[in-house]
Amino acid sequence: MADPVKRTVYLSLGSNLGDRAKNLQDSIAALRNAGVQVVRISSLYETEPLDYLDQPWFLNCAVEAETELAALDLLRTLRGIEAQMGSKKLIAKGPRLIDVDILLYGDAVIDTPELQVPHPRMHLRRFVLEPLAEIASNVQHPVSHQSISDLLANTPDKSAVRAAVGPSKGVVGARFSAPQPGF
């Protein structure tokens, strides 16, 4: 159900199966068709897997968007995009075609069995914080009240996160690599 108030949301996207950049592009295009207006896209970052290590490296980015969708409806929309793209989470924290997580939903704090916002582990994940700091360095975490750049500077996660070739240049309509129709 739509909420008449537009909220700024921040999403984390990741893929480590198939054509990772195309998976990210396709999911961002699907966002645009599902009531989520993409405002900014970070560069792409290649990141080593955490927790479950025996899997390919991920390609990650962060997206700033605006939506009138209520938080749970946004979550359901994101899960629908993942399912439509064929993503299956067969192993917890394992390989996936696409994964889209809500990091921040305005300045809301939500704690339900289905959804926790801000994302409860974002401050522990360099692969989330690096791209997010690129597009939202001064945004404040609604619980810790630290900026995203401060969270990044203080994260205990020392995993490898490196810029991937073909940055998106952080603007709407930018391309990750070679131009793709409809992106």
pLDDT tens, residue by residue, 12-48: 999 999 999 999 999 999 998 898 999 999 999 999 9
| pLDDT reading at 171 higher than 80 | no
What domains appear along the chain, each with residue ranges and CATH number? 2-163 (3.30.70.560)
The whole-model pTM stands at 0.88
pLDDT at 157 over 80: yes
Q: What gap in Å lies between CA 102 and CA 76, rounded to an integer?
A: 11
Distance CA 75, CA 5 (A): 17
Q: Residues 124-133: pLDDT tens digits?
A: 999 999 999 9
Give SS3 for 110.
strand
